[in-house]
Structure 1
Amino acid sequence: MLDEHRLTPASISKLEVHGAPNTRRALLDHVLKPLVDDSAAPGTTLGQVLDRIGEATRKLSRFDIFKEEGFNVFLSEAPRPEGAPADRTDLEVAINVKEKSRLVFTAGTDFGNAEGSAYTNAVARNIFGGAETLSINASTGTRTRSAYNATFSTPINGNPDLRLSVEALRSATQKPWASHEERLTGGNLRLAWLTENRDTHILSYSSVWRQLTGLSTTASPTVRADAGDSLKSALTHTFVRDRRDNPMLPQRGYLFRAVSELAGWGPLQGDVSFTKAELEAQGNLPLPLNGASLGAGFRFGLLYPLPTGYSLTGTAQPSRINDRFQLGGPTDVRGFKLGGLGPHDGADSVGGDVFAAGSISALLPLPRTGPESPLRLQFFANAGRLVALSTKTKSKSKGKEGKEGREGLAMDSATVFKSVKSAVGELGNGLPSLAAGVGLVYAHPAARFELNFSLPLVLRRGEEGRKGLQLIPSYHSVSGISSSQHGP
């Protein structure tokens, strides 16, 4: 009977939205006017109208200015005008919504990932009535000494799946694994969109002034050679396809992520020039035991130095420590210190230009908790290898002389290609660094927490493992205050 009613011809004669006093009508029209117009087409059925109303409300929810539990849709049959077809139902539609608080302030402390920090965050929603958002963040901690950023974001042409954002940032971060502090000042212009099959694309331009300063007395020659200022101007594209059933505790599905970056080449200018790519793939399968799953992941990254300007055959400078990959740590390759894998100069982890890392893990429900519990027992093993490009000579100079030493390391295009090819081949030379362990995983709605005991099994010369407990991450306390001009 229900299927028969869904096949009844129908149209929408009137549509109203209630509970959105701070939202511009133009924004609502972008979503709802096509719904009314499409229903007037001959052959439109009641089932199609209902499906389109559901799709429109879901689209409204993606603006993130309405409460999810606040959506209510009421349908009633409109008075039939004279001469209207007797077999066609004209509907009056009323959509009730509840706007989220326009101003939200949060403050709290974080502990985890070898760092403690305090933060404040202020978010202003729907500033001009078009689902615009202004977010201002400030934090200070044991490793990130200070970080400030402000981001303004707005949908384009009333489309919640197409957003443009502008960000200004400034930060100072201590990097004890490489005996220095890095200060960043700059901005980003970002365009993000979702495709029809829910893939995410992000295209961004960034310009950042970077200062490598605060060197310790034991800083290595490699770190000293890269000390000072640099300007990075880069285009970056990020693609994400996430088909996991639960990002926190995936039982099945896969994730694919690709990041491509072009810095300094052509019109981008700046004083560092390279192309950089990073790939990540993850898959999950359920095990016969209810609530248990098996997951595996693989990551690969490559940095390719380029000449400045528009030439592809000129000389290129070696990568800087600011741009090279770092590998190791509780949120990266468990069982190793932060930056513990890859090339070292003395006690400093100086990063690499090519890396590969993989992991496998099994998640099992704890006894008496059941498959619906957010708590799991985890067994894991992970491995990684990080390699730097070889150069003909090494700089032995310091300070300003170190910069001159970098000029002496310039490579022609043939040398760069051979060095990259050699570094990729080196990934398979011998066993990678390997660690295994066991731990507890708790999937909170806001974050995933892990407490693991890790044991390094294979450690290459110069690398640093970490045997024992690692916490990833733990949020100690959070407080929030919200206000709105029009109620809760």
Structure 2
Amino acid sequence: MGTVHAKAEENFTEASEFVNRNVPHDSADAYTFKEVDLEAVRARVDKINVDGLARTKNDIVEDCIRELFRAKDFQDVLIKAHRARVKLDELGCFKNISVFIDTSKGPKATSDGLEVTFNVKEHKRLTGGVSTQVGNNEGSLLVGLRAPNLFGRGERVQVEYSHGSKRTSNFNVAFIKPFRGRHRPTLTTSVFQSQSEWPSSGYRQLERGSLLDLSFYSTPFLKHNLQWEANIRDLSVLSRTSSFEVREQSGLSLKSALRHILACDLRDDLIFPSTGSLFQVTSEVAGVGGDVGFLKNDVFLQGNYSVLEDIVIQGCLSGGYMSSISNDMKISMSDMYYLGGPLCLRGFQMRGVGPHSDGDALGSTGYWSAGLHLFTPLPFRPGRGGFGELFRTHLFVNGGNVGNFRVGRDSSILDTLRANMRISYGLGVALRLGNMARLEVNYCFPYIFDKGDQTHPGVQFGIGVQFL
């Protein structure tokens, strides 16, 4: 958020009530300020200024700030000013946005009126750079080129190429167009090429396709993504030792799918949240053309509770199930579920849980996984208030199961999910990597596992954005 300045004058002395100690006014101890409820301070916005506009059109900016005129008290002004700044930032037109709040002046000023000024700095017509990104337990070099605010209403074209440490590469060209309206709709169209290798499953995949995405908010915190994706995939064996089941799935396939993503993120921080929750549901139907067809549903839940200062309990739960929609259509290995690794079920190797053939993970049509975590500061708080705040002590318990689940007449869903459950626990240290990812170094103890699972007792490294 940008810097918000608030200046109180005569009309708002009640918002900063003080007691004079009969000492010189220039003394630091001249006043004792009392905590005041800002909701009790009447305020309204008389005027809004936006300084720094050049290419950006007025109508798209007015749509982002109009809600400010409906504020009824000083706290409401602050909240709506923050939301307006978020909306302006989402346009992608500005690289810097600051907010200044002052008392209203002029002949039309009211007694409780305020004047809000947004200072913005627009992006250049063409920007680019080279950076690094982390996720999915690998690091990548990212080269990007972007043309922001093409026609003055937030339209932009961006080209990105990334190369990962695990022989993955991605190339993407996208056009993004935000629209006006209280639901903040944004349309994204892109074409892409992605290449990845999966040694734990014995295959590599080359994927070329296009994606059409429409995102909008039904409430201020509930986001929807409606997507259509079509791609051609070339799956091939990774080595001579790849299993027969992997070789059977080798070759070209065409996938056309519709997808809906529903997400609500109320956490106060992405990396080390201390309070709030995250809820995400993904539903996908493949088979709208092509030879790949299935119905797939995924859910992810995370809740955070602060027990004491800087001591947080976190609970996570995820699960998914997929089924074929036609005997004439197949389900590819790259669409199936896998479990195991430092990002989901710690104490097991990557994709180390579930059906295997000759050491290759084959994937399954269903899974569930859960985690209970305790995050605390480092013992004795070294570097408190500085570098030490980037670290957390981490204790965890993970559980889950993956397989081709079938619920029979003599078994319930709960019995099916509980059967052959895997459990691991451990402790370690987590490190914040800016606001983009975190690194975990844990000592893991697999507790319950199947004889065919690939366990990973001892030290395990994990790096990513979303852990379970």
The structural deviation recorded for 1:464 is 0.7
Structure 2: distance between partners of 1:447 and 1:185: 27
Measured at CA, do residues 142 and 79 of structure 1 come closer, stay the same or move farther in structure 2, by a change above 3 Å?
closer
Unaligned runs of 5+ in 2: 1-10, 16-39
Aligned residue number for residue 12 of structure 2: 2
Confirm or deny: 8 A CA contact 1:278 1:300 kept in the other structure.
yes
Aligned residue number for residue 251 of structure 2: 228
Q: Are 2:458 and 1:439 equivalent residues in the alignment?
A: no
**Larger deviation: 348-357 or 277-286?**
277-286
Aligned residue number for residue 387 of structure 1: 403
Q: Are 2:440 and 1:450 equivalent residues in the alignment?
A: yes
The structural deviation recorded for 1:107 is 1.9
Aligned residue number for residue 397 of structure 1: none
The structural deviation recorded for 1:16 is 4.0
Aligned residue number for residue 270 of structure 1: 290
Aligned residue number for residue 5 of structure 2: none
TM-score, length-scaled by structure 2: 0.80
Structure 2: distance between partners of 1:332 and 1:254: 18
Structure 2: distance between partners of 1:218 and 1:48: 64
Measured at CA, do residues 366 and 35 of structure 1 come closer, stay the same or move farther in structure 2, by a change above 3 Å?
closer
Q: Secondary structure at the match of 2:314?
A: strand
Measured at CA, do residues 64 and 116 of structure 1 come closer, stay the same or move farther in structure 2, by a change above 3 Å?
closer
Structure 2: distance between partners of 1:144 and 1:424: 40
Q: Are 2:43 and 1:23 equivalent residues in the alignment?
A: no
Q: Which residue type is aligned with residue 295 of structure 1?
A: Q
Q: Which residue type is aligned with residue 423 of structure 2?
A: L
Q: Are 2:343 and 1:344 equivalent residues in the alignment?
A: no
Residues 135-284 of structure 1 mapped to structure 2, 5 A cutoff: 135-157=158-180, 161-264=184-287, 268-284=288-304
Residues 246-325 of structure 1 mapped to structure 2, 5 A cutoff: 246-264=269-287, 268-288=288-308, 290-307=309-326, 315=327, 317=329, 319-325=331-337
The number of residues matched between the two structures is: 425
Structure 2: distance between partners of 1:52 and 1:293: 29
Identity of aligned residues (%): 28
Structure 2: distance between partners of 1:51 and 1:141: 40
Structure 2: distance between partners of 1:148 and 1:164: 20
Q: Secondary structure at the match of 1:60?
A: helix
The structural deviation recorded for 1:3 is 8.7
Structure 1: distance between partners of 2:67 and 2:429: 49
Aligned residue number for residue 480 of structure 1: none
Q: Are 2:419 and 1:429 equivalent residues in the alignment?
A: yes
Confirm or deny: 8 A CA contact 2:96 2:122 kept in the other structure.
no
2:463 to 473, 477, 482: 473
Structure 1: distance between partners of 2:347 and 2:252: 33
Q: Which residue type is aligned with residue 360 of structure 1?
A: L
Measured at CA, do residues 300 and 78 of structure 1 come closer, stay the same or move farther in structure 2, by a change above 3 Å?
same
**Larger deviation: 26-35 or 436-445?**
26-35
Structure 2: distance between partners of 1:284 and 1:53: 27
Measured at CA, do residues 277 and 58 of structure 1 come closer, stay the same or move farther in structure 2, by a change above 3 Å?
closer
Q: CA RMSD of the aligned region, Å?
A: 3.4
Q: Secondary structure at the match of 1:70?
A: strand
Confirm or deny: 8 A CA contact 1:354 1:423 kept in the other structure.
no
Measured at CA, do residues 441 and 9 of structure 1 come closer, stay the same or move farther in structure 2, by a change above 3 Å?
closer
The structural deviation recorded for 1:222 is 1.1
Q: Which residue type is aligned with residue 23 of structure 1?
A: T
2:156 to 127, 133, 157: 133
Structure 1: distance between partners of 2:137 and 2:264: 30
Confirm or deny: 8 A CA contact 1:73 1:96 kept in the other structure.
no
Q: Are 2:341 and 1:363 equivalent residues in the alignment?
A: no
Q: Are 2:91 and 1:63 equivalent residues in the alignment?
A: yes
Confirm or deny: 8 A CA contact 1:75 1:91 kept in the other structure.
yes
TM-score, length-scaled by structure 1: 0.77
Give CA deviations for 1:230-279 in whole Å, capped at 9, x if unaligned: 11111111111222232211222222211110110xxx121111100011
Confirm or deny: 8 A CA contact 2:57 2:153 kept in the other structure.
yes
Aligned residue number for residue 454 of structure 2: 464
Measured at CA, do residues 418 and 347 of structure 1 come closer, stay the same or move farther in structure 2, by a change above 3 Å?
same
Structure 2: distance between partners of 1:9 and 1:354: 54
Q: Secondary structure at the match of 2:398?
A: strand
Structure 2: distance between partners of 1:285 and 1:25: 43
The structural deviation recorded for 1:360 is 1.0
